[in-house]
């Protein structure tokens, strides 16, 4: 069942990457069987053509340098360079929830992935309403980062699991795991999936204080990490409030902002025009936000396009054939 699920998830990633489903099945099979890494690829498709045992891959400590002997570079520093690089489309970012899905994403050459709280909750048997604890998310982050050698990962930090001091502890814990970025949001705890009804957000000043605490933890070190600040105010208090929060988050020092669930392309354009800095879009099929291509998102002003359910849905559908 695990191998069948891996092949199905590989085919789903192939669709996301724009290559053949057969190539995806092959990559998924290789990941499940031997945990190898691709050592050759078809330049026209990015399809892996051969595999080596994972022992031939660079060590986790060495993976941050560009060449052998190069000074170590943190995941956060690498993500900053990746975001600043000139490109013609938003960074396609399939979301992961364990070591296997992380390996599959890296197998297909994606430069960035995202540890989704929805997915981690699901594989623990819970809905996405913050029933999974900080420690469980930290354990998942460690497993995912330990499985990656070159792909960078953003971690879902939910509400920070408490007050400003808890937020700082969460940021430092995620940074120690090797995550390149952490997302902190402004929902009332316990939070819930951003595309569902019944959400509530904290007051404006408390939301900004959360983000400022996260940025303070980043700046105080010792481990570098980027801060993504998310607001769910669009579905609760309207577009103008959501835009105001995103502007305040950027002013507080957030490296990336994320306005969850805009309702139209026009709202997405307005967000990108009015809020400075890098931005992420959440591409959820049947969600509230229009599904746009990575190139369309880039043209609007987004840097990252996250796909939260691609692997999770493929894994669930595999046993059903």
- Which residue ranges in the chain fall short of pLDDT 50? 1, 4, 19-71
Its pTM stands at: 0.82
Look at residue 171 in the predicted model and tell me its pLDDT.
Answer: 98
Look at residue 39 in the predicted model and tell me its pLDDT.
Answer: 36
Q: At what angle do helices 99-107 and 310-317 cross, to 10 degrees?
A: 110
Distance from C-alpha of 139 to C-alpha of 103, rounded to nearest angstrom:
17
- HSE-CB for 267 with a 13 A CA cutoff: 19
* pLDDT tens figures, 171-185: 999 999 999 999 999
Which residue bears the tokens 């364990």?
A: 98
Look at residue 191 in the predicted model and tell me its pLDDT.
Answer: 79
From residue 21, give the alpha-carbon distance in Å to each of 12, 87, 307, 310. 7, 25, 18, 14
Give φ, ψ of 310 to 5 degrees.
-55, -55
Look at residue 2 in the predicted model and tell me its pLDDT.
Answer: 52
How many helices (H) does the chain have, and how many strands (E)?
13, 10
Look at residue 286 in the predicted model and tell me its pLDDT.
Answer: 82
**Kind of pairing between the strands at 304-307 and 91-96:** parallel
Look at residue 295 in the predicted model and tell me its pLDDT.
Answer: 97
The answer to whether the CB of 74 falls within 8 A of the CB of 93 is: no
3-state secondary structure 230-248: EECCHHHHCHHHHHHHHHH
Look at residue 317 in the predicted model and tell me its pLDDT.
Answer: 59
The answer to whether the peptide bond before residue 190 is cis (omega within 30 degrees of 0) is yes
Look at residue 44 in the predicted model and tell me its pLDDT.
Answer: 36
- What is residue 308's three-state secondary structure? coil
- Which two three-digit tokens encode residue 265? 């392309």
Look at residue 247 in the predicted model and tell me its pLDDT.
Answer: 98
């Amino acid at each position: 069942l695990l191998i069948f699920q891996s092949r199905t998830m590989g085919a789903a990633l192939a669709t996301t990457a724009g290559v053949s489903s057969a190539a995806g099945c092959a990559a998924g099979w290789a990941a499940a069987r031997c945990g190898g890494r691709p050592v050759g690829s078809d330049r026209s498709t990015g399809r892996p053509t051969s595999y080596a045992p994972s022992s031939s891959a660079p060590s986790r400590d060495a993976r941050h340098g560009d060449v052998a002997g190069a000074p170590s570079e943190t995941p956060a520093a690498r993500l900053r360079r990746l975001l600043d690089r000139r490109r013609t489309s938003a960074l396609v970012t399939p979301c992961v929830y364990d070591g296997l899905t992380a390996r599959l994403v890296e197998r297909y050459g994606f430069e960035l992935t995202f540890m989704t709280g929805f997915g981690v909750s699901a594989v623990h048997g819970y809905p996405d309403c913050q029933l999974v604890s900080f420690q469980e998310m930290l354990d998942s982050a460690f497993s995912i980062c330990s499985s990656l050698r070159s792909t960078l990962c953003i971690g879902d930090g939910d509400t920070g699991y408490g007050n400003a001091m808890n937020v700082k502890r969460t940021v430092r814990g995620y940074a120690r795991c090797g995550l390149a970025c952490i997302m902190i949001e402004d929902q009332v705890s316990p939070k819930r999936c951003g595309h569902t009804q019944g959400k509530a957000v904290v007051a404006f000043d408390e939301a900004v204080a959360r983000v400022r605490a996260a940025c303070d933890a980043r700046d105080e070190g010792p481990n570098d990490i980027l801060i993504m600040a998310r607001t769910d105010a669009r579905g609760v208090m309207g577009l103008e409030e959501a835009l105001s929060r995103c502007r305040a988050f950027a002013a507080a020092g957030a490296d990336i902002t994320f306005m969850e669930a805009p309702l139209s392309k026009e709202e997405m354009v307005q967000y990108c025009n009015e809020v400075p800095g890098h931005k992420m879009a959440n591409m959820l099929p049947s969600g509230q936000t229009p599904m746009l291509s990575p190139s369309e998102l880039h043209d609007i002003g987004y840097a990252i396009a996250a796909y939260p359910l691609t692997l999770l849905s493929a894994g669930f559908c595999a046993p059903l054939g």
